[in-house]
């Protein structure tokens, strides 16, 4: 009988023998493979040296272009020249303090999804757009300079250079540049033509900008978005990720869609944003581009996407063209702002059918939850718990319809409201107030949904904030008027020309600055590329006289 030790030694010996056999077999197989490959290679090389007869082969020819029945290409050729690429630059800014009551974060949020007729806080949609488009359709930040660059799209609607785009594309931009499809590519340093903001409306995320032109520019026609039907073919045109003149096709997936905090049911609190939904691919950089129907007319402006991957997942949203037209017409008016009507009420946006049956508006109507003190509705005698059923004799289906009707009314006009109180039908003549003013009076602040405050008129162009000159300082300096610089943004035009905080501006380009309004008027007229010269006085050196600073606006 062998010992366990001897058995172990025999096992190891067998294992070594088995390894040797396996290794030898592998080497043999590899050797045969190499020899076979050499033979085949020699055979191919030998054939390559022989003259092969290919006289029976027919040369390929490029066929004549074929025009297909698809009408997409014809539409793109028609509208493409009017679609532009927008580049923006934003210099570093100090954190902006929100005024209490002027935004959603300034007031306590209601426990239920509330709506109103346009007099209350609509919320700040900018955060939503920033989340999906980086605040400007695909932004990049330069760590060295602290600058922020962004990309977007737009389309020309007036041959004199007026362009529609999204507010979030140009929001807080210090420099805006536009490139037409016909502009030559001047290389990395060629950003395009400088543009000026004519007006913005944050509530609908619409902006109007303008470029100077000596010749009429190609334009695109706006259609009637009410005519668009779910299932219709549409084309989205824009500059996703900076790739200009990119076209994607899809259909109208839905209409009258809300996207503020979109949930499974697509329910939203937004009052003035009802979108066309499409599955045409929309990506960062498409913001502000047109959504075109098969007639070659714009039925919407691509505004946002709903995504979990930061790319297109077939759920895009476009602001309807009927809204674009209405807002555009107000933004190009002398006031350059959107004015909306309000009667001063709030209502609950989403209600169960049981509430409707209990309060007698199961077939349509709006249950008033809050009546603004001293507002038009309060003065007309409306109370919380009343159910508004009609406006000027036309039935009102729900709160969205009431908002659409009232907001389009001009302040100073009036409407006849039909309402139900305790089961009894009543009517009342209710005046229409300016939503912005009513909201400002209600909160003690101002509504920031349209254009910047007057005190911020020079913030974009100059990079400064100012305030009116006090009588004491005016007397000390011996001047009749002016404005005091209260803030200078680092890296801005004002910073570069040494227009410092605390200085008093008394003249710009030989035009006296007497007060806040005159300052705003002068600054609004300053053009990119033009000289801007300021006459300033230093309150710390009242006997120092006038100082002249200036430069060429970027």
Q: Which of 258, 287, 312, 321 is catalytic?
A: 287
Q: Is 205 a catalytic residue?
A: yes
DSSP result, 213-235: -SSPPP---B--GGG--TT-EEE
Instruction: Give the CB-side neighbour count of residue 32, counting CA atoms within 13 A.
Output: 6
> Rounded to whole angstroms, what are the CA distances from 523 to 461, 507, 508?
8, 11, 8
- Give the Cα separation of 278 and 316 in Å (integer): 5
- Record the tokens describing residue 449, joined without a space: 């949904």
User: Do residues 83 and 238 lie in contact, with contact meaning Cβ atoms separated by under 8 Å?
Assistant: yes
Q: Is 455 a catalytic residue?
A: no
Q: Is 447 a catalytic residue?
A: no
User: Do residues 534 and 505 lie in contact, with contact meaning Cβ atoms separated by under 8 Å?
Assistant: yes
* Closest residue by Cα to residue 277 from 311, 245, 230, 242: 230
Q: Which of 90, 116, 124, 168 is catalytic?
A: 168
For the chain, helix, strand, coil in percent to 5 are 25, 30, 45
Residue the block writes with tokens 């007229």:
525
Q: Which of 201, 205, 386, 434 is catalytic?
A: 205
- Give the Cα separation of 238 and 282 in Å (integer): 9
Q: Which residues of 104-122 are buried (b: 16+ CB within 10 A; e: fewer)?
A: eeeeeeeeeebbbbbbbbb
User: Do residues 305 and 315 lie in contact, with contact meaning Cβ atoms separated by under 8 Å?
Assistant: yes
- Give the Cα separation of 292 and 31 in Å (integer): 67
User: Do residues 460 and 174 lie in contact, with contact meaning Cβ atoms separated by under 8 Å?
Assistant: yes
Q: Which residues of 265-295 are buried (b: 16+ CB within 10 A; e: fewer)?
A: eeebbbbbbbbbbbbbbbbbbbbbbbbbbee
Helix H or strand E segment including 433: strand 433-434
Distance of CA 338 to the CA centre of its chain: 17
Which positions are annotated as active-site residues?
Answer: 168, 205, 287
């Amino acid at each position: 009988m062998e010992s366990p030790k001897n058995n172990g030694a025999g096992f190891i010996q067998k294992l070594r023998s088995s390894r040797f056999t396996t290794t030898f077999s592998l080497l043999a197989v590899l050797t045969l493979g190499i020899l076979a490959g050499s033979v085949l290679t020699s055979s191919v090389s030998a054939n390559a040296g022989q003259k092969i007869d290919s006289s029976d082969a027919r040369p390929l020819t490029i066929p004549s272009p074929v025009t297909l029945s698809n009408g997409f290409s014809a539409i793109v050729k028609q509208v493409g020249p009017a679609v532009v690429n927008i580049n923006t630059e934003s210099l570093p800014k100090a954190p902006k303090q929100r005024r209490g009551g002027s935004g959603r974060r300034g007031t306590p949020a209601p426990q239920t999804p509330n709506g109103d007729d346009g007099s209350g806080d609509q919320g700040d949609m900018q955060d939503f757009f920033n989340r999906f488009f980086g605040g400007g359709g695909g932004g990049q930040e330069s760590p060295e300079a602290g600058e922020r660059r962004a990309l977007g799209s737009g389309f020309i609607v007036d041959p004199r250079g007026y362009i529609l785009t999204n507010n979030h594309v140009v929001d807080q931009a210090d420099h805006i540049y536009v490139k037409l499809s016909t502009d030559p590519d001047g290389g990395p340093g060629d950003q395009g033509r400088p543009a000026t903001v004519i007006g913005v409306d944050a509530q609908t995320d619409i902006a109007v900008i303008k470029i100077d032109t000596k010749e009429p520019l190609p334009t695109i026609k706006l259609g009637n978005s009410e005519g668009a039907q779910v299932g219709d073919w549409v084309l989205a045109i824009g500059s996703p990720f900076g790739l200009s003149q990119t076209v994607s096709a899809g259909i109208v997936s839905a209409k009258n869609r809300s996207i503020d905090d979109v949930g499974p049911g697509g329910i939203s609190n937004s009052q003035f944003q009802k979108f066309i939904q499409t599955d045409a691919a929309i990506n960062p950089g498409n913001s502000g581009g047109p959504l075109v129907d098969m007639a070659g007319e714009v039925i919407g402006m691509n505004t946002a996407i709903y995504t979990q991957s930061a790319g297109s997942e077939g759920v895009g949203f476009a602001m309807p063209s009927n809204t674009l037209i209405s807002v555009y017409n107000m933004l190009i008016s002398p006031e350059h702002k959107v004015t909306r009507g309000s009667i001063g009420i709030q209502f609950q946006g989403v209600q169960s059918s049981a509430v409707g049956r209990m309060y007698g508006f199961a077939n349509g109507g709006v249950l008033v939850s809050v009546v603004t003190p001293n507002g038009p509705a309060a003065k007309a005698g409306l109370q919380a718990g009343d159910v508004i059923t009609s406006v000027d004799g036309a039935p009102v289906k729900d709160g969205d319809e009431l908002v659409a009707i009232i907001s389009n009314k001009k302040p100073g006009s009036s409407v006849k409201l039909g309402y139900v109180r305790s089961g009894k039908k009543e009517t009342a003549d209710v005046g229409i107030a300016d939503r912005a003013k009513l909201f400002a009076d209600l909160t003690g602040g101002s509504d920031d949904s349209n254009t910047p405050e007057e005190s911020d008129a020079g913030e974009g162009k100059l990079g400064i904030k100012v305030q009116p000159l006090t009588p004491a300082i005016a007397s000390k300096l011996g001047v009749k008027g002016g404005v005091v610089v209260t803030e200078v943004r680092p890296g801005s035009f004002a910073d570069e020309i040494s227009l410092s905080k605390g200085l008093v501006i008394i003249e710009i380009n030989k035009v006296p600055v007497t007060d806040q309004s005159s300052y705003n008027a002068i600054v609004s007229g300053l053009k990119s590329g033009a000289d801007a010269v300021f006459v300033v006085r230093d309150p710390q050196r009242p006997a120092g006289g006038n100082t002249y600073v200036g430069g060429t606006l970027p």
